[in-house]
Each structure stands twice: as structure tokens, then as C-alpha cells.
Structure 1
Amino acid sequence: MAKFKVEFDGFDEMVARLSKIGGSAKKTTEKALKATHSIITKEAEKAIKPHRRTGATERSLIKKAEIEWGGLIAEVEIGFDIDNGGLPSIFLMYGTPRIKKDQKLYNAFKGKKTLDKVHEVQEEIFFSAIRDAER
């Protein structure tokens, strides 16, 4: 399980601008985190399918985006619930001395293509919120 935040170049400036024009930075952040969760979860669902034996690891994928706020910082948990059948996902993602790592599963969470897509979507959500607030 991993925690993701909203992170892209110029994020602080966008939040300040959005707040200045009366937009909701909190709502926009939550929307961006839910989009992040959706993108990564879809990629992980595709990548874990070839490893199905009992289905326990696949079922442990966190499918509901729950936003956690700690002061001014929001996070969303993404990935597999380790305590409820998700432990094998770690061995699949990173490999073991006997098992080669699954690059597709690894890339679903940490791959450049996935992270670039996440940052692009997060940024677009904030641009859209600013445009809507300016109207």
C-alpha cells in the first residue's frame, strides 16, 4: 500500500490562486486524489490479473478512494491491503531470489508513464477548477 499526494510543478501557486479567486482548494485536492486513485487502481487491476491463483491478492486491491487529511496535507491510500491478502503483491512488484519482479505491476504504481499521467491529470483538475472559479 502506498500513499499519494497531489504533486506537480506549480502546485503551491495554483492553490494560492484558487483560494484567492474563491475556489475550493480542499474540494479540488480531493477530486485530484480520487482521480489519482482511479488511474493507478485501473493499471494495477490489469497488471495483477496474470497472477491470479486464489484471487486473494486481487481482492485486496483498495478500490475505494478514502482521502485522509492531516492538517493541510491530504493523502489517499493506493495499492493492496497488506493485512488482508495483499502481501504477495510486494514480492511480485520487487521480486525475490527465485521470482523475477513483475515490471508491469511495478510500473502500475511507480512507472514514469503512470506518474506522468497522474501529474498531468492532477494539474488539469486544478486548471479546470481555476477556470470555473474565474467565471
Structure 2
Amino acid sequence: MSVASADFGLARGVYNSEYYKVRGEDFLPLRWLAPECISKGVFSSKSDVWAFGILMYEIVGMGQKPYHNMDNNQVLVHVKNGGTPAKPAYCPDQLYKIMQLCWAYEKEQRPTFADILTMFEKLRDKSEFQVS
């Protein structure tokens, strides 16, 4: 199985006010950026893992905007200080643990997408976490 994670910039019209300019670069989606993207403008597959964790938050949170109760400046400070989104109301503990791994402050501590797939397969195989 091959999985691709990509941002084609198609969402810009939806959340125009949620974009942030990093050191003269193009506008970037602040609420989906990993700490190293915000502070250093560094992007990698590990920053994609962070963004994937935010995507999981949006799905489990039924479309709720990440950091919905914060303005952009508050999000900047929160993420730079190691903050992550709170657990969505209906999120299973096991899934939130995966999300938290995706949001490890140090990018080296984040799982790979292959690791995440393995975690999902283990969850699927547990009887208490069946998706029908």
C-alpha cells in the first residue's frame, strides 16, 4: 500500500485568515504547522506527520478548526511553547495517543507514516476499536 500526504494549496480560500508568513516565504497554514516550520521555516516528512495529526484532530472533532478558541498570535505562542490541541470530545484514547505522538515537539520523536499505519492496523485488530 502506498499513501501520499500532500497540500496543493487548494484550501487557501477557505481559511484565508489562518495563513501565516514565515520569513518572507509564501503564506502558510499556521494551525497545521509543526514548531520547526514556525520557528525555522524547516519542512520535512516529520512536519507532514504533525500536519497529519492535525488532520486527524479535524476528522475526529467533526470538522472543528484546530485551536478553535485561539487567535493566530495565541496559536504561535502555544505551539512554540510545546502546546498541542486538546483531545476532541468523542476521540478514543488510543487514537488521541497516536495524535499526540504526531505532535511530538522534537521532530525526531515523531513516528513515520509507516509507523502510523502499523499503529492503525493494531487499533483495527483490537476488538474494542472496530470500525464498521
Q: Please indicate the TM-score interval, normalised by the length of the shorter structure.
A: under 0.3
**Which structure has the greater CA radius of gyration?**
1
Q: Could you say which structure has the higher strand fraction?
A: 1
TM-score, normalization by structure 2: 0.27
| Higher RCO (CA < 8 A, seq sep 6+) | 1
TM-score (norm. length: structure 1): 0.27
